[in-house]
Amino acid sequence: MAGTTNLILSIIEFILALGFLAFLHELGHFLTSRLFKIEVEEFGFGFPPRLKKLFTWGGTEFTLNWIPFGAFVRPKGENDPDVPGGLGSASPWKRLVVMLGGPVMNLITGILLFILVFSQSGAPDPSHVEINGVAADTPAAQVGFQPGDMILKVNGQSISSTDNVSSLVKANAGHEITVTIDRSGQVSDLKVTPRLNPPQGQGALGVTLTNPLVPINFIQAFPLSLQITGQYINTLLMMPGRLIQGQLTSDQSRFVGPVGMFGIFNAERTRDLQASATSAAGPPVNVLSFLAIISVALGFTNLLPLPALDGGRILFLIPELLFHKRVPPRYENMVHAVGMLALIMLLVLITAQDIINPVILP
């Protein structure tokens, strides 16, 4: 019974969290529309059919709809340039800013969530290396390495990063090395022989490495959050090329829909609950980190030049911005309608994949 209740709570929290990210995306479109005095007829929470009208503010109806995922904004004359005061009749530069409003809001949200996470959990110290895990029946386990050990030196050479440690270990595969560690303030040397051909999924020693966390404040977390956001965007940009080159497996680069996202969300929520049971309660940093990644991905994905997405609409603005020639609205609307149908079909396929082949987390 407790397990069922916990699952229901997790589903509700996931729907609310995902809906909040979608709300912020549409809020970006809404605020930029109002900034340029473009009328907005409806701001909907969830997707139609409509459940009820909540209130009217500034000429905009705020509504609650039956389908709980997401939100939407319906500007006046969105695709009709003949409607005065509407989006379609606004200048191309104003429409560009309105289209950018949603994705930019998601990117800002991701950065703010990363700031919250780093200011609460700390930031990785790249100059120190800590053993995060030791696999059973490995050279590291046999000589007594333990999670929490800080690696100071390898063969007398001071280390500066996890990559530095990995390089030194691989360079001495098959030969005994001396690893100097700090265990709770006690410095000692452990002799170990890295494997030449470790099993798949394991390194030469059989350990996983990480950087220990150091406390930082909100101001210190800001540049780190920008850096992490940039790294995730770069990862998304490089992913197709890495997949073509065989650097990623299909599982590592698979699309994930709402079902798969819930599986990850539920796993991160469980980790937060376990952490709060063994230490003082704090913000759910694992869930917040996941939502930050989702928010960044949502902002980036919506900027892709695909029909029905913000990036696709921006693509149709380019001829007007550069050559002052507008693509006939009927053609643009047709392309976006077909694109929306394709996106819905893709979402159905991805959801089916998530159910048949669930995401497996380490």
Residue-averaged pLDDT of the chain: 89
- 246-257 pLDDT, tens digit per residue, is 666 666 667 888
Task: Kindly report the number of other CB atoms within 10 A of residue 282's CB atom.
Answer: 11
Helix axis angle, 218-244 to 92-121, nearest 10°: 110
Give mean pLDDT, residues 323-346: 90
In this prediction, residue 279 carries a pLDDT of: 65
Confidence of residue 115 (pLDDT cuts 50, 70, 90): very high
Exposure string for 29-59, b = 16+ CB within 10 A, e = fewer? bbebbbeeebbbebbbbbeeeeeeeeeeeee
Question: In which band, very low, low, confident or very high, does the pLDDT at 282 lie, cut at 50, 70 and 90?
Answer: low
For residues 183 and 146, is the Cβ–Cβ distance under 8 A?
Answer: yes
Tell me the pLDDT tens digit for each residue of 86-96: 999 999 999 99
Give the pLDDT confidence score for residue 252 in this predicted structure: 64
Q: Cα–chain-centroid distance for residue 174? A: 39
* 148: three-class secondary structure by DSSP: coil
Q: For the domain 129-214, what is the CATH code?
A: 2.30.42.10
- Ranges of CATH 2.30.42.10 domains, the chain: 129-214
Read off the pLDDT of each residue in 304-324 and give the average, rounded to a whole number: 92
Q: What is the pLDDT of residue 24?
A: 94
Residues 204-234: tens digit of each pLDDT = 898 989 888 889 999 999 999 999 999 989 9
The average pLDDT across 344-350 equals: 89
Residue 148 · residue 186 · CB < 8 Å:
no
CA angle 266, 271, 276 (to 5 degrees): 125
CB 106 within 8 A of CB 21: yes
pLDDT at 362 over 60: no
Q: Exposed, middle or buried: residue 141 (CB in 10 Å: 0-12, 13-18, 19+)?
A: middle
Average confidence (pLDDT) over 73-77: 93
pLDDT category at 61 given cuts 50, 70, 90 is very high
- Which residue is it, tokens 């991805």? 350
- Helix (H) or strand (E) run with residue 47 in it: strand 40-57
Tell whether the model's pLDDT for residue 25 goes beyond 90: yes
Q: pTM for this one? A: 0.83
> Where is average pLDDT lowest: 46-55, 61-70, 300-309, 332-341?
61-70
